[in-house]
Amino acid sequence: MSKLETNIIAPSTGTTITLGESGDTVALGSGATQTGFGGVNTPAFLAYVSTSSSLSSGSYTKVQFNSELFDSDSCYDNATNYRFTPTSSGKYFLSTICRVDSIDSGAPIEISIYKNGNGQLNFRHTPYNTTSSPVSIGENLIVTANGTTDYFEVYIYQNSGTRNVIQGSTYSSWFGGYKIIE
């Protein structure tokens, strides 16, 4: 085996450098790092409802995820608008789950991730039996963001005829997402 020691490798013609051939494995030495390959899954965030809050009946209610576990690029507003506004264009994986107190039989509950004020995908659950146990409803979505003006929020609709409650705690009701490496 030969050892090549140099600081810069540049193509003698064109713009392509080939390392190895089909079927070869190119490995970094122990402790070596690589740069310029792949990407990072940021911005990324995970916000949650810290204390239980009311949920109106018969209308969509914006969920106020008012605490953060992390927010890599400060793109989630957990104090005013309760929305994610990514500062890097690309595709994003977004996910949300809300845990809601008891639901009456036949009373639908729906969760939706909104982009720029419009619902992107709604998930609806209509229980067949009245349940006194909390119900969790969630949604996952891959969306494209322009990196400047696009923003994402979560809304819940329930129609039980009475106010209901979104349960608050770190892992009861949350909204998170991250940039997908393309």
* Residue matched to tokens 């729906």: 110
Percent of the chain whose predicted confidence (pLDDT) is above 90: 43
Does residue 36 sit within a domain?
A: no
**Domain tally, the chain:** 1
97: closest CA among 60, 65, 145?
A: 65
Does residue 20 sit within a domain?
A: no
Does residue 119 sit within a domain?
A: yes
Does residue 48 sit within a domain?
A: yes
User: What's the pLDDT tens digit per position in 48-92?
Assistant: 999 988 888 888 899 999 999 999 999 999 999 999 999 999 999
Does residue 25 sit within a domain?
A: no
User: What gap in Å lies between CA 91 and CA 180, rounded to an integer?
Assistant: 6
Q: What's the CATH number where 82 sits? A: 2.60.120.40
Does residue 77 sit within a domain?
A: yes
User: What gap in Å lies between CA 70 and CA 17, rounded to an integer?
Assistant: 39
Put residue 82 in one of left, alpha, beta given phi > 0 → left and psi -120 to 50 → alpha.
left
pTM: 0.76
User: What's the pLDDT tens digit per position in 111-149?
Assistant: 899 999 988 766 666 655 555 567 788 899 999 999 999
Does residue 93 sit within a domain?
A: yes
pLDDT, residue 126, reads: 60
pLDDT, residue 137, reads: 84
The range of the structural domain enclosing residue 94 comes to 44-179
User: What gap in Å lies between CA 111 and CA 109, rounded to an integer?
Assistant: 7
Buried (b) or exposed (e) across 24-48, using 16+ Cβ within 10 A? eeeeeeeeeeeeeeeeeeebbbbbb
User: What's the pLDDT tens digit per position in 5-38?
Assistant: 888 887 778 777 777 788 888 777 777 777 767 6
Mean pLDDT of 89-114: 85
